[in-house]
Amino acid sequence: MNQADAQRIRGILADLGYTETAEEQDADLIIFNTCSVRDHAERRLAGRVRSLSALKRKNSDLIIAVAGCMAQNLKSKIFDLLPQVDIVFGPNDIEQLPKLLKNANAGKTLGKFLSKGSFDGESADGIIISRPFSAMVNIIRGCTNFCSYCIVPYVRGPEISRPVDELLIYIKELVDKGVKEVTLLGQNVNAYGKDLGMNEGFATLLEEIDKIEGLRWIRFLTSHPRDFTPEAIIRISKLKKVCEQYHLPFQAGSNRILELMGRGYTKEKYLELVDNVRKYIPNVSLSTDIICGFPGETEEQFEETLEMVKRVRYESAFMYYYSPRPGTKAASMPGQLSDEVKKARLARLIDVQTEISKEESLKLVGKTFEVLVESLSARDDSYVAGKTSSGRTVDFKGNKDLIGSFVNVEIEQARNWTLSGKLVNS
């Protein structure tokens, strides 16, 4: 979501005459686009901004801005915490950036911190994407789930879907500019269209996007298990361009913890969803989000989470220990666990998932996959790297001319999540 917001920010700045620089000392404007889901992200932001103090003293005209969810959450408090900052604005204030920059010439400037997002003024011409062949597309903004641990509904506002006709025009324009892959985004993509009065709106939207000529791959993030219906799975499984990569956050394996989290489903319902997905999409790659050390979580309940991981066998997982977010229900729940306990459980969880990821990766050795080449490889610039339709990262020997193209790669080596292979003839 922050990457998609950054696309819009880049486009607005380019329209104002700004160009990007990779060197902080050359910048007239530095914007930090922030997350507020975990305390760790906020601490990192504070450290990064403070590291610019000397640069700020040297260049009094330098403008430092903090955007995104942390900005929406803390508002003017950021000026007290980080006096180096000149502008603070939320994720729903992005279109006001030109005015905010102008006001910053007269002193510290705050956004309006709008409580609800919109798609006003957003067009394919109004964004700059870091990879010209792949774009992030917001289909729904905000969240109304209010999971007890999550601050997102408070900082992103309620759900608002972008109408189907607008999205189709937007994506067609992206394809005309050379985009071959889109990733549809939402705090809960499965909720798409509910506010527009649509039944199974997400499946309907995918069916329409699947018809767009020139578009090769469609991905989506993130799905809420509660709203992913059997009908939607069947309809989506019939589409040719939708990648077989499903991110299904289960968060915890204990029904008691799921209830305390306010997730709206049971362990049994979640497993039924997984079985349905695998029934209709046999080659699906599953990933998930997991929180351990939630308030009141017992050792037995944590063991249920480990058992869930072993039962489903995810290709990858984003794993965290619980981080209290002030203002959320869970922050004041009894039974808060010590960091020592939470970190120990996370380490055990990571060990289990790492072993599973490696075992699942080894099953792919000797197979050939279509890969969208994305960049030079970080480990060796005589190699390039890309992703399969299932989201697996693959590197292989090749040159930068392959970037943005689809090629076939035979897998020769497997790691926990990434793969290495060799280019083969189509």
Is 355 in the same domain as 376? no
Report the domain count for the chain.
Answer: 3
- Tell me the pLDDT band of 40, cut-offs 50, 70 and 90: confident
Is 226 in the same domain as 345? yes
Is 270 in the same domain as 351? yes
Which one of 110, 141, 172 terminates a domain? 110
Residue 118 falls within a domain, yes or no?
Answer: no
Secondary structure string (H, E, C) spanning the chain: CHHHHHHHHHHHHHHCCCCCCCCHHHCCEEEEEECCCCHHHHHHHHHHHHCCHHHHHHCCCCEEEEEEHHHHHHCCHHHHHCCCCCEECCHHHHHHHHHHHHHHCCCCEECCCCCCCCCCCCCHHHCCCCECCEEEEECEECCCCCCCCCCHHHHHCCCEECCHHHHHHHHHHHHHCCCCEEEEECCCHHHCCHHHCCCCHHHHHHHHHCCCCCCCEEEEECCCHHHCCHHHHHHHHCCCCECCEEECCCECCCHHHHHHHCCCCCHHHHHHHHHHHHHHCCCCEEEEEEEECCCCCCHHHHHHHHHHHHHHCCCEEEEEECCCCCCCHHHHCCCCCCHHHHHHHHHHHHHHHHHHHHHHHHCCCCCEEEEEEEEECCCCCCEEEEEECCCCEEEEECCHHHCCCEEEEEEEEECCCCEEEEEECC
Is 281 in the same domain as 412? no
Q: What pLDDT is recorded for position 426?
A: 58
Say yes or no to pLDDT of 298 above 70: yes
CATH number at residue 259: 3.80.30.20
- pTM listed for this prediction: 0.93
Residue 231 falls within a domain, yes or no?
Answer: yes
Neighbours of 327 (CB within 10 A): 11
Mean pLDDT of the chain: 95
Residue 116 falls within a domain, yes or no?
Answer: no
Is 208 in the same domain as 296? yes
Q: What pLDDT is recorded for position 37?
A: 79
Q: List, for residues 233-282, the tens digit of each pLDDT value.
A: 999 999 999 999 999 999 999 999 999 999 999 999 999 999 999 999 99
Contact 365, 408 (CB under 8 A): no
Is 25 in the same domain as 91? yes
Is 148 in the same domain as 66? no
Q: Using N-to-C axis directions, what is the helix angle for 267-280 and 230-237, rounded to 10°?
A: 20
Is 26 in the same domain as 145? no
Residue 339 falls within a domain, yes or no?
Answer: yes
- Tell me the pLDDT band of 171, cut-offs 50, 70 and 90: very high
Is 379 in the same domain as 357? no
Neighbours of 102 (CB within 10 A): 11
Q: What pLDDT is recorded for position 100?
A: 97
Total residue length of the chain:
426
Which one of 362, 392, 407 terminates a domain? 362
Say yes or no to pLDDT of 6 above 90: yes
Angle at the Cα of 324 from the Cα atoms of 6 and 150, rounded to 5 degrees? 50
Q: List, for residues 71-105, the tens digit of each pLDDT value.
A: 999 999 999 999 999 999 999 999 999 999 999 98
Residue 71 falls within a domain, yes or no?
Answer: yes
Residue 352 falls within a domain, yes or no?
Answer: yes
Is 204 in the same domain as 310? yes
Q: What pLDDT is recorded for position 360?
A: 95
- 131 vs 176, 179, 391, 405, CA distance in Å? 15, 9, 16, 12
Residue 27 falls within a domain, yes or no?
Answer: yes
Residue 140 falls within a domain, yes or no?
Answer: yes
Q: What pLDDT is recorded for position 121?
A: 82
Q: List, for residues 385-400, the tens digit of each pLDDT value.
A: 999 999 999 999 999 9
CATH number at residue 381: 2.40.50.140
Say yes or no to pLDDT of 231 above 70: yes
- Tell me the pLDDT band of 381, cut-offs 50, 70 and 90: confident
Q: List, for residues 111-161, the tens digit of each pLDDT value.
A: 999 988 889 888 999 999 999 999 999 999 999 999 999 999 999 999 999
Is 94 in the same domain as 213? no
Sequence-separated (6 or more) residues with CB below 8 Å from residue 384: 373, 374, 375, 376, 377, 395, 396, 398, 399, 400, 402, 403
CA torsion sign, 415 to 419 to 420 to 425? positive
Is 254 in the same domain as 295? yes
Print the domain residue range for 169: 124-362
Q: What pLDDT is recorded for position 147?
A: 96
Round to whole Å and give the CA distance between 143 and 155: 9
CATH number at residue 35: 3.40.50.12160
- Strand 87-88's sheet: what is its strand order? 29-34, 63-68, 87-88, 109-110
